[in-house]
Structure 1
Amino acid sequence: MKYSLSAKNLVCRNLESRASYCASLLNPDHTKEITGVLRSDSGLLSYTFNQAVTNAVMPERILQRFVVDYFAERHSPFTLWHTANKAFDDSSLAELGLKRGPSLVAMAVEVQRLAADESLPEALRDKLTIAQVRVDDLDDYAELQVSLFNGSREGPQVRKFYQRLKELPDQKRSRLKFYLARLDGEAVAGGCLFASADALGFYDQVTAEAHRGQGIGRALFHHLVAQALHSHHKYAVVLVPENRQQLLLDIGFFAVGEVASYRFEP
């Protein structure tokens, strides 16, 4: 695999596919695409699940009409992910109400190059268990995800997404695999694998604040890597903050570019 534009495109396509898939679980046929931009509307008032993904720089008027005006008319927030190597003019997007957030590093790897280490620190042995989430565990998984939003109005919208998922049969959401880490029975960390046509994406890994720094997040990530190694996927992709690359580099991932994010709040 050449770690170049083609590798970054794997990340972009996985991001687009996940945005579309999550939205369609709640709001079918509300993902639309024109050249260079995909728009997914989950029906929630959520910037987590309403997303637009751009893979090219386009005139601001097109972005405004196709994405910004659409969500503004629905009084709904959304997140814009910009995956192209050429950047937007942040000041122009700010005039549209799009506030620049932290960029993430796009990383990719051929799955066969990955190396998982599922051994646990002594303090976690016989205490930490990691397993795929069953429908009865979705509430615990949801609360971990909600904890990221510190009581903001986004939290209840995220909780509602997982409540709606509980109403769906497992096969309807089969491309999303959720995992929970429990310490002495308490849900303390969670993460997700999403399968697109050409890659397996790692998403939404979170560790409860009171349990950070104990190696739990690292153990969960290695467990997800082990699941990838047993999958049929040839490639794996992930988006991470710049200061959290080292674990992925150690496992075998390569950085393949930057992805900018913007948030719209009506």
Structure 2
Amino acid sequence: MKYSLSAKNLVCRNLENRAGYCADLLNPKQSKEITGLLRTDSGLLSTRFNQVVSNAVALPRILQRFVVDYFAERHSPFSLWHCASRPLDEEALKEMGLVEQPPLIAMAAEVKQLATDGKPLADLEIRAVANAEDLLSFGELIAEIHDSPRERAQVKKFYQHVSTLPEHKYSRLKFYLGLFQGQPVATGSLFSSADALGFYDLGTLPEFRKRGIGTAMFQHLLGEVIHSHHKHTVALVDEEQQDLWLNAGFYAVGEVTRFDFAPERSGAHVPNSRQGANGNSPDRGGENS
């Protein structure tokens, strides 16, 4: 399959923008970048909200000093999302304690080419999150989908904090709840960057899967995108879910690989001073805008 580099860049820029935006809601101005690499630090112990996005093949020593040492010093997990076509050095990543996760398929579309079947699902109400109570319910559902008790607690902490903020502080994020017979069971969100609207957080509680609820949430968000002002839309999708997106008008534009880091499992070196994390040139690329 021939991939479109420019379309894949849309996906990666949206991922970068969202990672920095979410981290800054809790820990302002701590996102840092050097050429081809963005490091976001939410201040949480979370792979979900401490994200490093790579658009180039960074040298292992740069990843070690700029990323791994930084988070290891803080005893904090993170996730590395590699968007470049050329792979990173997998052996070097293993030595640094980074564990590869299943790849995701980058999807993109022109909004004018999308189509939704518009079929509602009986007993399911989908509504935009409009108050702090709904936002807390959204966070509870996102947390329930995680296997790690620590990650669940950190996810709840993020949404508890966001629920205290005025809406304009997180206006680029739009959250949606799916209620089945009045019970919150599904989530979805959209993130608006300058050049695309991105799909995120599509999930359903395990006991309510295989009932069409996730598909209904996808179709609802698709309708929101179609009626938006955006020209392009993007997503990162599990490989086995591609058909749903292809049928709606998306096309695959490449793969994004992900690696997770947990300091207690990695045995990573922790610098004796802050110099390894903050002091030298890898950290002087300026703040993410």
TM-score (norm 1): 0.96
How does 1:146-225 map onto structure 2 within 5 Å? 146-225=143-222
Which digits, 9 at most, give the CA deviation of each residue in 1:41-83, with x for residues without a partner? 0000111000100001021001111111111111100000000
Match of 1:77 in 2: 77
Contact 2:103–2:238 under 8 Å retained in 1: yes
Match of 1:33 in 2: 33
Contact 1:3–1:254 under 8 Å retained in 2: no
**Structure 2 segments unaligned to the other structure (5+ residues):** 264-289
1:144 counterpart (138, 141, 145) = 141
What is the SS of the residue equivalent to 1:231?
coil
**Structure 1 segments unaligned to the other structure (5+ residues):** none
- Deviation of 1:151 (Å): 4.9
AA paired with 2:58?
M
Contact 2:3–2:254 under 8 Å retained in 1: no
In structure 2, C-alpha distance between the alignment counterparts of 1:24 and 1:74, rounded to whole Å = 17
Q: How many residues align?
A: 261
Match of 2:276 in 1: none
How does 1:220-239 map onto structure 2 within 5 Å? 220-239=217-236
Contact 2:60–2:89 under 8 Å retained in 1: no
In structure 2, C-alpha distance between the alignment counterparts of 1:52 and 1:183, rounded to whole Å = 35
- Could you say if the C-alpha distance between residues 57 and 151 of structure 1 is closer, same or farther in structure 2, counting changes exceeding 3 Å? closer
In structure 2, C-alpha distance between the alignment counterparts of 1:98 and 1:3, rounded to whole Å = 27
- Deviation of 1:226 (Å): 0.5
2:254 counterpart (250, 254, 257) = 257
Runs of 4+ in 1 over 6 A off after TM superposition: none
AA paired with 2:18?
R
Q: Percent identity, aligned pairs only?
A: 58
In structure 2, C-alpha distance between the alignment counterparts of 1:25 and 1:151, rounded to whole Å = 23
Contact 2:136–2:160 under 8 Å retained in 1: yes
In structure 1, C-alpha distance between the alignment counterparts of 2:25 and 2:260, rounded to whole Å = 22
Contact 1:82–1:261 under 8 Å retained in 2: yes
Match of 2:17 in 1: 17
- Deviation of 1:152 (Å): 2.3
